């Protein structure tokens, strides 16, 4: 028995040790982002990025907020497209998933196939781009963020599968009481489907918050930049300034290198862009996991 206990303790030390090592591999890079954002550029140049800066400085943040308009604007655009885009998406997908879950809906198979086929085959990026810009006029339009990713065949199937499991007597008795389909959807289906609505909403919300590819493709107007895209943009700008100074030593007279904390600034921007979701989303991780498991079940 004593032997056995020793074995268990040893096993726990090994397993936990492995995970603590793993977690260090995950946490250190994130901590480095935070500490780098509080470093002075001089120190980064001398010592490299460090976990324990000798001087803590908010210089990068104050530089970013000297011209806060761009950041505030990117937050506004990202928040707007995240909230409105998620509501539009979940509503559109829920409204189609409900009829598809009804066995007595005559067009069920045809519509399921119409949607499912888009998972198997696509026209590709270039034809989509041409149609979105030449015909639909989505270039430099906020609608690009809201409409292009409006619905996903996969998430519709996830929702439909969940709706199918609800007792059909509820719908039938509501119909006898004279309720219309739209009313049944909002007063019976939605309240009973909170888990799947939460999963799908968070899925969509994460995608919208982290959106930058649509900006890359369709947006040139700075006022419509998303947060993640602005982050990438600032990265490029800082790099440009540095390369410019490296290639033309004479240029140091024109721009004081130290006035632009280009190195720490990009990490201050990273904290601002990634921070909110990293704080909020882990609380909802069980819904993300639920989405993955539903997805593994037959559609």
Partner 1 sequence: MVARKSPWKTFMKNKELLLLTLPALAYFFVFHYMPMGGIWMAFTNYRHVDGIFGSEFVGLQWFRIFFQGDLTRVTRNTVGYAGTFIILGVVTGVFTAVLMNAVRSKIATKTYQTIMILPHFMSWIVVSLILYIFLDPQFGVINRTLISFGIDPIWWYSTPEYWPFILTFMNIWKSVGMGSIIYYAALMGIDPSLYESASMDGAGKIAKFRFITLPSLVPLITILTLLALGGLFRGDFGLFFAVPRDVGALYPTTDILDTYIFRGLRQGLLSLNAAAGLFQSVMGFIAVVSVNMIVKKISPENSLF
Question: Which of the residues 216 through 255 are near partner 1 (CB under 8 A)?
Answer: 217, 228-229, 231-232, 235
Given 55, 213, 251, 255, the residue binding partner 1 (CB under 8 A): 213
137 binds partner 1 (CB under 8 A): no
**Which of these ranges, 63-71, 79-87, 103-111, 247-255, lies near partner 1 under the rule CB under 8 A?**
103-111
174 binds partner 1 (CB under 8 A): no
33 binds partner 1 (CB under 8 A): yes
CA distance 65 to 261: 13
**Which of these ranges, 69-77, 79-87, 148-156, 253-261, lies near partner 1 under the rule CB under 8 A?**
148-156
| Contacts (CB under 8 A) with partner 1, residues 51-90 | none
164 binds partner 1 (CB under 8 A): no
**Which of these ranges, 15-23, 58-66, 69-77, 251-259, lies near partner 1 under the rule CB under 8 A?**
15-23
Interior/surface letters 227-259, b for 16+ CB within 10 angstroms, e for the rest: bbbbbbbbeeebeeeeeebeeeeeeeeeeeeee
118 binds partner 1 (CB under 8 A): yes
**Which of these ranges, 59-67, 160-168, 252-260, 263-271, lies near partner 1 under the rule CB under 8 A?**
263-271
278 binds partner 1 (CB under 8 A): yes
Minimum distance between the CB of residue 119 and partner 1, rounded to whole angstroms?
A: 8
99 binds partner 1 (CB under 8 A): yes
128 binds partner 1 (CB under 8 A): yes
181 binds partner 1 (CB under 8 A): yes
Given 60, 156, 204, 219, the residue binding partner 1 (CB under 8 A): 156
131 binds partner 1 (CB under 8 A): yes
Task: Please enumerate in sequence order all residues whose Cβ is within 8 A of that of 256, keeping only pairs 6 or more positions apart, or say none.
Answer: none
Given 6, 10, 13, 18, the residue binding partner 1 (CB under 8 A): 18
- Residue 68 or 123 with smaller CB distance to partner 1: 123
- Residue 98 or 145 with smaller CB distance to partner 1: 98
| Residue whose C-alpha is closest to residue 205's, from 129, 267, 128, 287 | 287
Minimum distance between the CB of residue 76 and partner 1, rounded to whole angstroms?
A: 18
């Amino acid at each position: 028995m004593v032997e056995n206990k020793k074995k268990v303790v040893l096993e726990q030390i090994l397993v936990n040790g492995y995970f603590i090592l793993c977690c260090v591999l995950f946490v250190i890079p994130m901590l480095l982002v935070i500490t780098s954002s509080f470093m002075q550029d001089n120190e980064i140049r001398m010592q490299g990025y460090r976990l324990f800066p000798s001087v803590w400085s908010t210089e990068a943040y104050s530089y970013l907020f000297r011209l806060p308009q761009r950041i505030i604007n990117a937050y506004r655009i990202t928040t707007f497209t995240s909230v409105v885009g998620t509501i539009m998406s979940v509503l559109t997908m829920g409204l189609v998933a409900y009829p598809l879950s009804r066995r007595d809906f005559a067009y069920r198979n045809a519509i399921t196939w119409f949607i499912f086929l888009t998972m198997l085959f696509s026209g590709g990026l270039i034809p989509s781009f041409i149609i979105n810009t030449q015909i639909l006029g989505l270039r430099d339009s906020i609608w690009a963020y809201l409409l292009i990713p409006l619905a996903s065949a996969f998430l519709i199937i996830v929702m439909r599968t969940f709706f199918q499991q609800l007792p059909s007597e509820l719908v039938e008795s509501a119909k006898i009481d004279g309720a219309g389909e739209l009313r049944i959807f909002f007063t019976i289906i939605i309240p009973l489907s909170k888990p799947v609505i939460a999963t799908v909403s968070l899925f969509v919300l994460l995608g919208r918050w982290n959106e930058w590819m649509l900006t890359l493709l369709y947006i040139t107007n700075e006022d419509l930049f998303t947060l993640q895209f602005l982050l990438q943009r600032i990265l490029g700008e800082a790099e440009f300034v540095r390369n410019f100074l490296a290639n033309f030593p004479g240029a140091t007279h024109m721009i004081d290198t130290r006035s632009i904390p280009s190195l720490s600034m990009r990490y201050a921007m990273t904290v601002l862009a990634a921070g909110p979701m990293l704080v909020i989303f882990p609380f909802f991780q069980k819904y993300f996991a639920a989405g993955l498991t539903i997805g593994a079940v037959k559609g």
